[in-house]
């Protein structure tokens, strides 16, 4: 379905469990140049029960996961339908939905994003493009990150594009190839400790700022095997649950000190990950609101110009780019890069469910 104009919705649920991001996007392509407009957009927060379920689902049995997948697909369909009705959206080409990652084990040839069952097209009365990661893993890739092709197409003027969400990831051009990989956990850990204080998150890093960096804990975190691996590489919540949190919990220090230390860890790993320590670093995701974290990153990269975009792009960039991935799938064009994921080939990933 190749044409010059597309009217779609991008839908994203990240590992930080902020909620479901929805963005109504209009794309236009002229002379192979893509332009976009983010129109209506909002984040629908999960209720406390769904947050609890999504946090613990990593330990579910297959039967439990199958039931969860069905229930979550129904939830997601209702959220999407309400968004369409609320904003009176008409003539949509597709809903392009990432779903929510529960398991990510590319080393075992497996990744699971719930909310991508075929029924979602029937329940939303829309064409739906979804389940973007599975095919890449089947082709020997990491299934992540997938956003970098969108960085190349929509944000090529920046030296680096970085997202600070549940995990940090970065993409950039090197030798005429797009390179991208996950760097470290971010809000999956920071929010975990903020939650212990009865908070959804550490607002602007104010609690982190009051803490002290623990050098012993910092050293242990910085020597984790993942950071020594070459890209392509990606992270899932399993890494946080099985590796990172147990290390932190062995240190009997205050939550403020844990937050401070982990913020320092994030900043160090980001600085180490960037091959060139100067230029422009386009930064999005919820972590971009964490002033303390941004200050620590800037301290590690004093020659880097950290650019934080307007709110719509900052908060909805991933929904925007998964909307683009869906459009590329509709066009039968490449939307996953082997240079990024390590798959056997560039390919057009995702599954299209037609509204019948």
Q: Which DSSP state fits 244?
A: I
Q: Are residues 190 and 289 in the same domain?
A: yes
Helical ranges in 133-202 per DSSP H: 134-138, 148-154, 187-196
5 near 26, Cβ under 8 Å? yes
Pair (322, 303) in one structural domain: no
Same domain? For 231 and 296 the reply is: yes
Look at residues 283, 186, 284, 286 and name the one whose alpha carbon lies nearest to residue 235.
Answer: 186
Predicted TM-score (pTM) of the model is 0.91
Q: For strands 94-105 and 5-13, give the pairing.
A: parallel
In terms of domains, do 307 and 171 share one? yes
**Per-residue model confidence (pLDDT) at position 348:** 98
Same domain, 338 and 282: no
Looking at the structure, tell me whether residues 229 and 183 fall in a common domain: yes
Residues 275, 217: one domain?
A: yes
Q: Inter-axis angle of helices 291-300 and 255-273, to 10 degrees?
A: 40
Q: Tell me, yes or no, whether 116 and 188 share the same domain.
A: no
Local confidence band at 198 (pLDDT 50, 70, 90 cut-offs): very high
Q: Do 248 and 326 have their domain in common?
A: no
Which has the closest alpha carbon to 346: 77, 123, 149?
149
Whether the predicted pLDDT of 355 surpasses 90: yes
1-5, 252-256, 311-315, range with the lowest pLDDT:
1-5
Q: Could you give the maximum distance between any two Cα atoms of the chain, in Å?
A: 59
Asked if 114 and 90 sit in the same domain, the reply is yes
Predicted confidence at residue 15, as pLDDT, reads 82
What is the per-residue pLDDT for 281?
98
Please write the tens of the pLDDT for every residue from 298-326.
999 999 999 999 999 999 999 999 999 99
Q: Note whether 144 and 234 are within 8 A (CB).
A: yes
Whether residue 93 is found in the same domain as residue 211: no
3-state secondary structure of 333: coil
**pLDDT (tens digit, 9 = 90+) per residue, 203-247?**
999 999 999 999 999 999 999 999 999 998 999 999 999 999 999
Q: Given this model, what pLDDT does residue 288 score? A: 97
* Mean pLDDT score of the chain: 96
**For residue 16, what pLDDT band results from cuts at 50, 70 and 90?**
confident
Query: To which residue do tokens 């890069």 refer?
Result: 337
* Residue 14 confidence class, pLDDT cut points 50, 70, 90: confident
**Which tokens in the block code for residue 26?**
């209009």
Residue 1 has pLDDT above 80, yes or no: no
For residue 354, the model assigns a pLDDT of 97
Reply yes or no: is the peptide bond before residue 71 cis, omega within 30 of 0: no
pLDDT score for 203 = 98
- Neighbouring-strand partners of residue 336: 347
Strand partners, 42: 22
Confidence of residue 356 (pLDDT cuts 50, 70, 90): confident
Domain boundary among the residues 297, 312, 327 is at: 312
Give how many domains the chain has, as a whole number.
2
Question: Is the confidence at residue 191, as pLDDT, over 80?
Answer: yes
Give me the phi and psi of 42, to 5 degrees please.
Answer: -165, 160
Q: In what order do the strands lie in the sheet with 304-307?
A: 177-185, 167-174, 160-164, 279-284, 304-307
Structure-block tokens of residue 278: 């100067």
CATH of the domain at 165: 3.30.420.40
CB 163 within 8 A of CB 270: no
Confidence bin at 169 (pLDDT 50/70/90)? very high
Report pLDDT digits (tens) over 45-74: 999 999 999 999 999 999 999 999 999 999
In contact, 165 and 202? CB cutoff 8 Å: no
pLDDT at 95: 98
CB 127 within 8 A of CB 121: yes
Residues 265, 329, single domain; the answer is no
Quick check: 98 pLDDT over 90?
yes
Q: Which of 295, 312, 329 is the last residue of a domain?
A: 312
Q: Which of 168, 98, 141 has the alpha carbon at shortest distance from 340?
A: 141
Domain extent for 28: 5-142+318-353
């Amino acid at each position: 379905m190749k044409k010059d104009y597309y009217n779609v919705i991008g839908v994203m649920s990240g590992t930080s469990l902020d909620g479901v991001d929805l963005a109504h996007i209009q794309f236009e392509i002229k002379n192979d140049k893509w332009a976009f407009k983010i129109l209506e957009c909002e984040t629908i927060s999960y209720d406390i029960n769904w947050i609890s379920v999504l946090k613990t689902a990593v330990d579910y049995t297959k039967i439990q996961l199958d039931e969860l997948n069905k229930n979550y697909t129904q939830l997601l369909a209702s959220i999407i339908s309400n968004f369409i009705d609320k904003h009176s959206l008409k003539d949509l080409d597709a809903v392009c939905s990432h779903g929510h990652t529960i398991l990510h084990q590319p080393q075992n040839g497996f990744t699971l994003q719930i909310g991508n069952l075929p029924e979602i097209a029937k329940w939303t009365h829309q064409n739906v493009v979804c389940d973007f990661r599975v095919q890449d893993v089947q082709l020997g890739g990491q299934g992540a990150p997938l956003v970098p092709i969108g960085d190349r197409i929509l944000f090529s003027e920046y030296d680096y594009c970085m997202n600070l969400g549940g995990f940090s990831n970065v993409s950039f051009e090197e030798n005429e190839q797009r390179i991208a990989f996950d760097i470290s956990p971010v809000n999956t850990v920071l929010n975990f400790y903020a939650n212990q204080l009865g908070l959804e998150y550490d607002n602007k890093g104010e609690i982190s700022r009051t803490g002290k960096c623990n050098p012993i804990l910092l050293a242990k975190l910085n020597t984790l095997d993942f950071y020594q691996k070459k890209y392509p590489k990606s992270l899932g919540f399993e890494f946080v649950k099985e590796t990172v949190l147990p290390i932190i919990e062995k240190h009997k220090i205050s939550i403020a000190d844990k937050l401070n230390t982990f913020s320092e860890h994030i900043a160090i790993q980001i600085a180490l990950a960037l091959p060139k320590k100067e230029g422009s670093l386009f930064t999005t995701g919820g972590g971009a609101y964490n002033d303390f974290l941004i200050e620590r990153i800037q301290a590690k990269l004093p020659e880097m110009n950290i650019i934080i975009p307007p709110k719509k792009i900052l908060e909805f960039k991933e929904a925007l780019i998964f909307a683009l991935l869906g459009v590329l799938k509709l066009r039968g064009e490449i939307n996953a890069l082997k240079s990024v994921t390590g798959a056997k080939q560039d390919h057009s990933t995702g599954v299209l469910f037609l509204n019948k």
